[in-house]
């Protein structure tokens, strides 16, 4: 058996000078992120983190209240939403309900700085889960 016949045959497209295997892959899509928080400093910090990760994430909108968050979510359909629970006009729980009424698979990460909203107080969790139960 000759050495030539023992090597596996590849049916790859021809490469041009300076092209390696990684440059022939499809570009990775970026995670589209919506930020909703009524505190400007918090929004600015999150925007800064997203902008530092340009290769992986893309900001699609910033909302300063729950009503804006729902409107921006419907307009942009982000991959993930970072949402504060305590916001004016429409609180985070109600915003989640409205978003989930449109798409129950919407990915939402809840942000809060209020300790009373964490594990001991499950009221907001109960309110959300009640909305998802079939009647």
pLDDT, one tens digit per residue, over 40-78 is: 999 999 999 998 988 899 999 999 999 999 999 999 999
- Read off the pLDDT of each residue in 118-122 and give the average, rounded to a whole number: 51
- Read off the pLDDT of each residue in 80-93 and give the average, rounded to a whole number: 93
**Is the predicted pLDDT of residue 20 greater than 70, yes or no?**
no
pLDDT in the model for residue 13 = 44
Give the residue, 62 or 22, on which the prediction is more confident: 62
Domain segments of the chain: what residues? 29-132
CA-CA distance, 94 to 27, in Å (whole number)? Answer: 36
Q: Are 102 and 74 in contact (CB under 8 A)?
A: yes
Interacting residues of 124 by C-beta distance below 8 A, sequence separation 6+: 85, 92, 93, 117
Q: What is the CATH number of domain 29-132?
A: 3.40.50.2300
**Is the predicted pLDDT of residue 34 greater than 50, yes or no?**
yes
Model-wide pTM > 0.75 = no
Average pLDDT over all residues of the chain: 78
Give the residue, 6 or 48, on which the prediction is more confident: 48
pLDDT in the model for residue 53 = 84
Q: Are 90 and 65 in contact (CB under 8 A)?
A: yes
- The token duo for 112 is 């809060």
Q: Are 73 and 46 in contact (CB under 8 A)?
A: no
The residue with tokens 């504060």 is: 84
């Amino acid at each position: 058996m000759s050495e030539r016949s023992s090597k596996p045959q590849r049916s790859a497209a021809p490469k041009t000078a300076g092209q390696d295997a990684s440059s022939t892959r499809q570009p990775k899509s970026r995670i589209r992120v919506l930020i909703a928080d009524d505190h400007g400093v918090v929004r600015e910090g999150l925007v800064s983190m997203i902008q530092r990760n340009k290769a992986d994430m893309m900001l699609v909108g910033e909302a300063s209240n729950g009503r804006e968050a729902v409107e921006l979510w419907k307009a942009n359909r982000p991959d993930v939403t970072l949402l504060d629970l305590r916001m004016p006009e429409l609180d985070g729980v109600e915003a989640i309900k409205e978003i989930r009424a449109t798409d129950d698979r919407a990915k939402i990460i809840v942000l809060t700085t209020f300790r009373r909203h964490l594990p001991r107080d499950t009221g907001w969790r109960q309110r959300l889960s009640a909305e998802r139960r079939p009647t």
